[in-house]
Amino acid sequence: MKIGRIRLRNFRALYDVELKNIPPLAVFTGENGSGKSTLFQVFGFLKDALKNNVRVALQRMGGYREVATRGHTDEPIEVEIQFRMMLSDVNRLVTYYLAIATNESGVPVVQREILRYKRGGYGSSFHFLDFKNGEGYAISNEEDFNKPDKDLIRNYQSLDSPDVLAIKGLGQFQRFKAASAFRHLIENWHVSDFHIMAARQRVEAGVAEHLSETGDNLPLVAQHLHQNNRQTFNNILERFRERIPGMSQVTATATEDGHILLRFQDGSFKDPFIARYVSDGTIKMFAYLVLLHDPKPHPFLCIEGPENQLYPQLLGALVEELRDYATRGGQVFVSTHSPNVLNHVEIDEAFLLKKEQGITTIYPLADNQQIERFIEEGDKLGWLWNQGLLEI
């Protein structure tokens, strides 16, 4: 499943943006305050809205009036995501549309929620799910999409509350195929909020297959890979040794009081260092390797500023790893302030955010012919940026 297009309206500085032809790896750059983090917040917001409801998710971001673009609080917040997925053996272009508005009492509700895709090669898309203010329907025999309209079964429902997403309940049922696939995508996307301090801690013994968003289960994931996927673990270790001078071994060890902690062996000394005493970049590089070599990649991964704390020479390999991850099936969004990251990014992968009069526009760099010409002549995006030539 791959996201091809995103349209956002009235979400903070993103008053009206559209990203089209989104590549497997998409890299966003732009000045401070240009809206990169805001773009990434949309994914966290949707995940929270699915887990809880739109009211709670907005509340956590300061409430509807804070999230809607300044001066536009009377307009709905809209999110539209288009993705490709297999439905009954046919590759379909599915669109999810969500509009949130406030009711008469000022409380946020789902004004409209739609899942649509074309049934044939032509014609307009058909609504397989359509809800307004907690009332609506979903087609329960989607696999029969070739049948005439009258044979499609509309399953009418009232949701528990108008602030709940219909895909939350319906997405649990396999027969609502598109809803269940989209729900699965949101639940499994990973919006990294990595904290070095969290990743340094020892953790209570347990099992974890995937790195958490903060990275606080790093010792458990390392232990899991070591025990169950030695090849992946060794691959991670090999790359880690190449990148961090002196490092020879990493072990996840159990303490007497039932915790697991990471130890890093520096070849120059007999005793290893526990995670708390190794450098920031050491922890971060190890965590990134664990995240990016996950045998089961997330369908969608967002990382802000992967360059922070890392030696510039390591960033090329990191971009390669992000791209590998994206081609293994997990689409990747990255934001960056680093020319060294951009130097390894293809022009089709790069997007520039610009904020003018408080409103963000996102420009694909590939649309700029001058930049394209520079790249054809052998220039790199980071060099152009350093020379002030990444202007749109």
Ligand X SMILES: Nc1ncnc2c1ncn2[C@@H]1O[C@H](COP(=O)(O)OP(=O)(O)OP(=O)(O)O)[C@@H](O)[C@H]1O
How open is the CA angle 45-46-48, to the nearest 5 degrees?
65
Which residue, 17 or 260, has its beta carbon nearer to ligand X?
17
- Going by the DSSP 8-state scheme, the letter that residue 153 receives in this structure is P
Nearer to ligand X, 260 or 353 (CB): 353
Which C-beta is closer to ligand X: that of 194 or that of 374? Answer: 194
Query: Which residue shows structure tokens 């490709």?
Result: 84
Selection from ligand X, Mg ion, none that 287 binds (CB < 5 to 8 A by kind) is none
Written as six digits, the tokens of 23 are 């590549």
Task: Name beta bridge partners: 160.
Answer: none
Taking the CB of residue 256, how many other CB atoms lie within 10 A of it?
5
Q: What does 331 interact with, of Mg ion, ligand X, none (CB < 5 to 8 A by kind)?
A: none
Q: Which does 12 bind (CB under 5 to 8 A by kind): Mg ion, ligand X, none?
A: ligand X
358: partner contacted, choices ligand X, Mg ion, none (Cβ within 5-8 A by kind): ligand X
**By beta-carbon distance, which residue lies closest to Mg ion?**
37
Q: Which is nearer to ligand X, 30 or 76 (CB)?
A: 30
CB 100 within 8 A of CB 107: no
The first and second tokens of residue 233, run together, are 């673990």
Kindly state the smallest distance separating residue 37's Cβ from Mg ion, in Å.
Answer: 3
**What token pair was written down for 307?**
């360059």
242 binds, among ligand X, Mg ion, none (CB under 5 to 8 A by kind): none
Tell me the window of 37-45, 224-232, 290-298, 319-327 that interacts with Mg ion (CB under 5 A).
Answer: 37-45
**Closest by Cα among 194, 206, 204 to 286:** 194
- Cβ proximity to Mg ion: between 35 and 382 the closer is 35
Kindly compute the dihedral angle of the four CA atoms of residues 120, 121, 126, 128, in this order, to the nearest 10 degrees.
Answer: 70
Among residues 62 and 295, whose Cβ is nearest to ligand X? Answer: 62
Total Cβ atoms within 10 A of residue 320: 12
Minimum distance of Mg ion from residue 164's CB (angstroms): 30
Q: State the minimum distance, in angstroms, from the CB of residue 47 to ligand X.
A: 18
Among 37, 140, 180, 308, binds Mg ion (CB under 5 A): 37
By C-beta, is 206 or 358 nearer to ligand X?
358
Q: Which two tokens stand for residue 104?
A: 């008469």
Nearer to ligand X, 36 or 200 (CB): 36
Query: To which residue do tokens 């347990």 refer?
Result: 206
**CB of 274 or CB of 359, closer to ligand X:** 359
CB of 36 to Mg ion, least distance (A): 5
- Residue 69 binds which entry of Mg ion, ligand X, none, CB below 5-8 Å type-dependent: ligand X
Contact (Cβ atoms closer than 8 angstroms) between residue 325 and residue 332: yes
Q: Residue 70 binds which one of ligand X, Mg ion, none, with CB within 5 to 8 A depending on kind?
A: ligand X
Q: How far is the CB of 37 from ligand X (least distance, A)?
A: 3
Helix, strand, or coil (residue 218): helix
How many angstroms separate the Cα of 323 from the Cα of each of 20, 247, 381? Answer: 19, 25, 17
Please provide the DSSP assignment of 193-210 as one string.
---HHHHHS-EES---SS
Question: Which entry of ligand X, Mg ion, none binds 251, CB below 5 to 8 A by partner kind?
Answer: none
- The count of residues interacting with Mg ion (CB under 5 A) is 2
Choose between 30 and 136: whose C-beta lies nearer to Mg ion: 30
Q: Which stretch binds Mg ion (CB under 5 A): 36-44, 179-187, 275-283, 317-325?
A: 36-44
* Residue 8 beta carbon to ligand X: minimum distance, rounded to whole angstroms: 12
Residue 30 binding: pick among ligand X, Mg ion, none (C-beta 5-8 Å cut-off by kind): ligand X
Distance in Å, CB of 357 to ligand X, minimum: 10
- The residues of the shown chain that bind ligand X, judged by CB under 6 A, are 12-13, 30, 32-38, 66, 69-70, 358
DSSP string, 56-89: HHHHTTT-HHHHSPTT-TTSPEEEEEEEEEEETT
Q: In sequence order, what DSSP letters do the residues of 247-304 get, joined into one string?
A: EEEEEEEE-TTSEEEEEEEETTSSSPEEGGGS-HHHHHHHHHHHHHT-SS--SEEEEE
How far apart CA 97 and CA 382 sit, in angstroms, is: 36
Residue range at the interface with Mg ion (CB under 5 A); choices 10-18, 30-38, 70-78, 285-293: 30-38
Q: Name the residues that contact Mg ion, by CB under 5 A.
A: 36-37
